[in-house]
Each structure stands twice: as structure tokens, then as C-alpha cells.
A and B are shown apart, each in its own frame.
Chain A
Amino acid sequence: EAQVTQNPRYLITVTGKKLTVTCSQNMNHEYMSWYRQDPGLGLRQIYYSMNVEVTDKGDVPEGYKVSRKEKRNFPLILESPSPNQTSLYFCASGTVPDSNQPQHFGDGTRLSIL
């Protein structure tokens, strides 16, 4: 089954404690991306990657890091989480160049930073 898998699905942690949210896709997609969803703001892009070892900032990259060492994985790293990073996070993947197929989204990771 084609899917994007995020882990963990839920996490409560404290300010300053480094955390990583993993994202893995099994569709051999070149493109992967991270979004955060906040009330009243919709989803905003944090980082994206067009292929292995190629990453770029989205609209709200501050406080986040990513890496793309393998095609299937695109982890989101919060080196020193702060309460304003409490949010619902989505990973997505898709083909490049663009095709008629939509992006596939993971089921989301709800982070609470105390």
C-alpha cells in the first residue's frame, strides 16, 4: 500500500529537548515536504526536498532542520523546541516533475511543547 508514515503520531515534550519526527514514503517519490498546521492559518510549508541531498526552506523554516540522506526518508528535527512550535505537522511526498498525481500526506504528528 502506498503511504507516507510519520512517527510519532503524538508527542508531549519540554522546551529545549531535541526531538526528531520521522517521515518515510514507499512510493519512490523524489519530492518530500513538511508542513505545520495552526488554527486559522491553514498549512504552511516548513522545508521541502526535490531529491536526495537537496533541501530548501519553505515559508516558516525558523527553528527546524531537515535532512534527505535517502530518498524514502525526510526527518524533521527540532534542535531546541519552544512552545510556539506546538502544532500539527504533516509530511508529504510527490513526483517530480509534477504530474497529475496529487501529493500524498502522512496522517500527521501532533506536537506539544511545554
Chain B
Amino acid sequence: AQKVTQAQTEISVVEKEDVTLDCVYETRDTTYYLFWYKQPPSGELVFLIRRNSFDEQNEISGRYSWNFQKSTSSFNFTITASQVVDSAVYFCALSEAKSGSARQLTFGSGTQLTVLP
């Protein structure tokens, strides 16, 4: 069975600090997808990134970067020079690609990030 662990329940940083959100996953499949979603205080889920298991290239998008390491089953998310607007709950999620469940997402429990001014 697949599992996603976000060990950090809450993180507080001061604006402009860098912060890394950890995500560790478990799956028996060789083909799978990893995701990060942001949930701001307004409650909606905002898609940030999707990675497939064959693509271990790290990705950078503005102040956001993601480090995917299959050897440690981790998909960590770093925000550089954090801003107050980054305050949100961040979810890591996994979906396995086997037929019939390609869309079934397993979410971690989320990390509440608070960026203080």
C-alpha cells in the first residue's frame, strides 16, 4: 500500500528565510507520480508540481524548488526567501500508475507553514 509521510506538522519562519518541507513516500510500484499542493487560508487546493518516477531532475520555479531522490524515497520542497503569502498548508501526494488507480491520490497529513513578517 502506498503511504506519504510529512513529519513536519508545523513550521514557522521569518520572512526572507529559506524553508524546506519534507516528504517521504512508500510505494511498491516502479511507476508513480508525486505532487505538491498548496492550501492557503481560503481553503482551496492549488496544484504546484507533478513529478513522475522516471524523472529525477530537480526543478526550480521562481522561489520554489523541488528535490526528488528515489534512493531515499523523498520529494522535498524548498521555498527560497519566503514571503508572508507563502503561509499555507502544503500537501505532498502520491499516485501509482497501475490501471484503474492512476488517479487515486494518497496525501500526506500536510505541513502548516507560517511566515512571520
- B-binding residues in A (CB < 8 A): 31, 33, 35, 40-45, 48, 50, 56, 58, 88, 90, 92, 94, 96-98, 100, 102-103, 105, 107-108, 110
Residue of B nearest to A93 (CB): B103
Task: Report how far A110 CA is from B43 CA in the complex, Å.
Answer: 10
Task: Report how far A96 CA is from B37 CA in the complex, Å.
Answer: 21
Known pairs A42-B4, A45-B106; list 17 more (Cβ under 8 Å). A31-B103, A33-B103, A42-B91, A42-B107, A43-B93, A50-B103, A92-B105, A96-B102, A96-B103, A97-B102, A98-B33, A98-B95, A100-B50, A105-B47, A107-B43, A107-B44, A110-B43
Task: Report how far A102 CA is from B33 CA in the complex, Å.
Answer: 10
Residue in contact with A40 in the complex, picked from B37, B102, B109, CB distance below 8 Å:
B109
- A-binding residues in B (CB < 8 A): 4, 6, 9, 33, 35, 37, 43-45, 47, 50, 91, 93, 95, 97, 100, 102-110
The residues of A that contact B107 with a CB separation of less than 8 Å are: 35, 42-44
Task: Report how far A88 CA is from B102 CA in the complex, Å.
Answer: 24
The residues of B that contact A110 with a CB separation of less than 8 Å are: 43
The residues of A that contact B33 with a CB separation of less than 8 Å are: 98
**A94 near B45: Cβ-Cβ < 8 Å:** no
The residues of A that contact B110 with a CB separation of less than 8 Å are: 42
Residue in contact with A88 in the complex, picked from B4, B43, B106, CB distance below 8 Å:
B43
Interchain Cβ contacts under 8 Å between A and B, 21 examples = A31-B103, A40-B109, A41-B109, A42-B4, A42-B6, A42-B107, A42-B109, A43-B93, A44-B107, A45-B105, A50-B103, A58-B104, A92-B105, A96-B103, A98-B33, A98-B95, A98-B102, A105-B37, A107-B43, A108-B45, A110-B43
